[in-house]
Amino acid sequence: MNNRYVVPQKRLGVQELEVKPLLTTTNGKKLKLSAMVDSGCTHTCIDEELVKKKKIPTKKLERPITCRNSDGTIAGKKDITKFVKMDLNINGHNEQLDAVVTPLQSSDLFLGHDWLTNHNPEIDWKQGIIKFNRCPTSCSFPHTDISFEPRIRRLQSNEDTEEKEKVKAIRDWAVPTTVKQVESFLGFANFYRRFIKNFSTITQPLNELKSKKGEKWYWNDEQQQAFEQIKQAIASEPVLALPKDKGQFRIEVDASNYGTGAVLSQEQENKWHPVAFMSKTLSEAERNYEIYDKELLAIIKALKLWRHYLLDAKEQFEIWTDHENLKYFREPQKLNARQARWYLMLQEYDFLLRHIPGKTNTKADILSRLIKPDTSNDNRGVEMFKEKMFIRRLEESTPIYDVTLLHN
């Protein structure tokens, strides 16, 4: 890092935009905080009081940094000696960065000139919108609540898009209407029972339904409360983990006739924790794919969804699937056009494909079967060739030339 650090003063001529990002520190803590985007600040810095209050781990700088105001005068009574390594999420945009620890007044985090240079974002200061052009994923902030102060524009989002997407498959899990559906839900939840306190007690009302198989179906407040409590537990800490810089990732994928399902997990402290879940409905065209293409599609969807975790993973990750044929998709063979596109995408990632028996791939299998769309109209009334695709019939008056004459 540069040993000369400039912090911004409140001054005319400097545009500032404050956003509400999500910060994940190296100790796994997740914090929502304000961040000032300011071209008048040379580097990225985090508030000293926030670091102390939240007990965020720090590291020592190789050499102290002298902190100066924009007019060249020294700011503060001491040099900067510490910095924080962290993951930053701003509504779907993810990155890792270092921030030096220094007293701040107006925001928890300053994203300065170096950050702006690396990202080259488009910023609409009037509307309070920022777009990332040079980042792996482009995104913009939903500007639902903007208030104005002199020379500062504050932006606040009412939702954390990525965090909701990670657990959407769990939160949207439909209320069971049969004993078989209860068994599927409990089978999925059972994988995480060691992380859920009083799991047996909470699930007792649901287990009662299993014991009364064949009897009249009922679903009361007790069952609903247990169902919601388990869903909430799976979608929260300590079951759901925040991804860390170290630790192997694993994707478990499966495909059914109607959808694809996947679980992204990471090994943390010698235990595998889920990081995110996926349950996607197949389109009408995708439902016509051969089974091996459906299985491969499940992998492609998972890689696209969790690209920001996997593309720069420190360790080679594994993809677990119950379809034996997929092991050969990375070997030279005859591919159709769709498979060829997928093949090129797979080459971006460093992974191993592991085959597991279908009976042990329960988590992904259940997620792939959560949604059963209406298939009654599949492939019916489809016009293979539209009327506009046909050349009109030649009229009798249309001259026809003998092609052989053109070569004489």
Q: Which domains does the chain have, with CATH numbers?
A: 4-159 (2.40.70.10), 172-234 (3.30.70.270), 249-368 (3.30.420.10)
Beta bridge partners of 270: none
User: Can you give the C-alpha Rg of the chain in angstroms?
Assistant: 28
Angle, vertex CA 49, rays to CA 48 and CA 54, nearest 5? 105
pLDDT in tens, the chain (408 residues): 444 444 443 333 344 555 556 666 556 667 777 777 766 677 788 888 888 888 888 888 877 777 665 555 555 556 778 888 877 776 566 777 788 888 876 678 887 766 776 666 666 655 556 666 545 443 333 333 333 333 333 333 333 444 556 677 788 888 888 888 888 888 888 877 777 877 888 888 888 887 777 778 889 899 999 999 888 888 776 677 878 878 999 999 888 887 888 889 999 888 888 888 888 888 888 888 888 888 889 999 999 888 878 887 888 999 888 766 666 565 677 788 888 888 888 888 888 888 776 555 455 666 666 555 455 554 455 444 345 544 454 444 445 444 444 444
Element (H, E) at 182: helix 179-189
Angle between helix 179-189 and 221-234 (nearest 10): 30
Question: Could you tell me if 254 and 260 are in contact, meaning their C-beta atoms sit under 8 angstroms apart?
Answer: yes
Long-range contacts of 262-267 (CB under 8 A, 24+ apart): 262/298, 262/301, 262/302, 262/305, 262/364, 262/367, 263/363, 263/364, 263/367, 264/302, 264/306, 264/309, 266/241
CA dihedral over 340, 344, 345, 349, signed as positive or negative? positive
**Cα(210)–Cα(258) distance, rounded to whole angstroms?**
26
d(CA 33, CA 22): 6
